[in-house]
Chain A
């Protein structure tokens, strides 16, 4: 993992997407996880290597004025703690409900992203979320896409945000 940098700085350095849109993503991350956890997620840095771990990943697309694939990856312990915070009751990692929660977290984040972009005049809509759960999960993205993965920390544990950027559809 690199030293902590701002999300905007990493995106600018990698030329992933327009800096102003990244501000919208940052605001959505703060709003979504602030509302669920009660604390804003702290950016730890860019996660370069995918560390093998048991966990769950929620993936959702935002398309229109931008074409983004957002992914949220939660190691097992973070997923359990965050699911309890989100749902208000305990949810076993192996249960179908855990898939629901991780998908809903991606859904809520995407909803915030759509609203933030909308305030900038960028019209987008979101897909239904997809969830994967298992060990040593790695998302294989087409090489043509610009992408990055940022690691965050919450009182409930660490997690990562993935962003892959394609060509806008509108």
Chain B
């Protein structure tokens, strides 16, 4: 399955690490769009084009959590899974991201490929199921 992932981090090395880890998971055939901070990501995020988002928390201009809140405020983007990839590890921050802001998963730095696979795998399965359902539904009933 082909997936277009938006990777947001002010560190180029971290973006490369996230992208390389995702490639190594072999969960999908990834194509990447990179953003340097939340503000940059807002301009590059299009829910019709982006399938999954990986966002750092602490970044200049606009933080990752502000980006998540902004994106989730738009109903069109609620289907796009967002994964926080951050060194913030307190329970309060994790709850803020997952319960309050609307992120779907939380990865703490440093991470391994196996850890990324464990966290991202179920979200990609969900995307796969939704894609599988799309050709069916209303149109498949018409064909019956």
Contacts and interface: CB of A to CB of B under 8 A. Distances in A.
A145 interface: no
A152 interface: no
B20 A111 contact: no
B62 to A, nearest CB: 13
Interface residues of B, number: 20
B91 A118 contact: yes
B14 A104 contact: yes
Contact of B13 (A32, A35, A101, A118): A101
Contacts of B90: 114-115, 118
A86 interface: yes
Contacts of B132: none
A132 interface: no
Contacts of A87: 13, 16-17
Contact of A114 (B13, B14, B89): B89
Interface string A101-116: 1011001101110110
Interface in B75-116: 86-92, 108-110
Interface string B1-23: 00000000001111011001000
B109 A107 contact: yes
B110 A88 contact: no
B88 A111 contact: yes
B58 interface: yes
A128 B110 contact: no
- Of B16, B90, B108, the most chain A CB neighbours within 10 A belong to B90
Interface of B: 11-14, 16-17, 20, 58-60, 86-92, 108-110
Given A104-B14, A104-B87, 10 more contacts: A32-B110, A35-B110, A86-B110, A87-B17, A97-B13, A104-B11, A107-B87, A111-B89, A114-B89, A115-B90
